[in-house]
Structures are given as C-alpha cells and as structure tokens.
Structure 1
C-alpha cells in the first residue's frame, strides 16, 4: 500500500482501522479479470485510503477540526479516521476522542 511513500512528502504515520488488503473479486462478464472489493474496508469505501494519512496530517499540524463535503463516503471515512487520529494523540485506543 505504501510503496510510493519515499516519493511523497513527509507525512505522519497513517492511522489504520484495517483498510487495504481488500479481496480481489472475479468479474462475471470478463473471465480472468478481478477487481478490488473496497466495500471490505472499515467504512465500506475506497475513501479510507485517503483518510488514513490525511487525518493524522491535520492532527499533527494543530487543526482541531477537519471538514469535508457531507455528500457521501468521504465524510464518513474522514469522520472515522479523524476520531481515531485524535484518540491516538490522547493515548486512547478505544476510538474515543475528547472534545
């Protein structure tokens, strides 16, 4: 998942809720072709891959709030990973982020 990390700007360690490692699923109409089933990610979206490094990045720069358009999976994923990132900062692994 992070094979291109050496080419990226320095980012904090991503918070992981178990994203990635999604199963390849064969396509019925194209024999021999498989696609990744991103519904197996923690929030059911491929947006988890974006939120995993983005939330700790915002946390480490002192932002107390993160915001995205509440139009779909990006908002759900960002909320989940932001809660986890701030919980890690406060020494809690149970998902609780203090106000």
Structure 2
C-alpha cells in the first residue's frame, strides 16, 4: 500500500514554452513549495518514513535537497532538530 503523501503542493510546475526552441516546453519547478525540483523526491521519502513510524529524517545535502526534506519533514511533524554547523558524521 502506498503511504498517504505529505504534499504541500509539489508537482504543479507549469510547462513553459522555450522561445528559441519551438514546440519544446520545460517545467518551471520554481512553482514547487520550496522552489526546487527536489520537492518531487522529498514528498515520497518523508511520506514513507512517516508512515513507517519514524520520527525524524536525515539527508546528506548542503543545498536544495536539504531545504526540501526539511520543509516536508516539518509538514509531516517529523523534524525534531537540525544542525547547521557543517558537522557530518562519517
């Protein structure tokens, strides 16, 4: 069974035509909740963790994947704390 999605609205990126390539459209991922295509990864990952009873999630990222995961974890009530001191256990 699929988990109930944690979804603040990702996936609604509108297709935008390219001026210099007639007939070609791209998704404008800035329309996603955190402005990144990484929201498409964070939603199912956090949904999976929440539905299996995990209380926290972790991601090894210093960029958009971290922002997306934190936003979706907060929406799922999964975030307990975070670090911003550059520490990464090996």
Question: Is TM-score (shorter-chain normalized) higher than 0.5?
Answer: yes
Structure 1 equivalent of residue 74 of structure 2: 83
Structure 2 equivalent of residue 22 of structure 1: 13
Q: Is the 8 A contact 1:13 1:53 kept in 2?
A: no
RMSD: 1.9
Structure 1: state its 5+ residue gaps: 1-9, 88-96
| TM-score, normalization by structure 2 | 0.77
Q: Greater helix share, 1 or 2?
A: 1
Structure 2 equivalent of residue 36 of structure 1: 27
Larger RCO (CA under 8 A, 6+ residues apart): 2
Q: Is the 8 A contact 2:56 2:80 kept in 1?
A: no
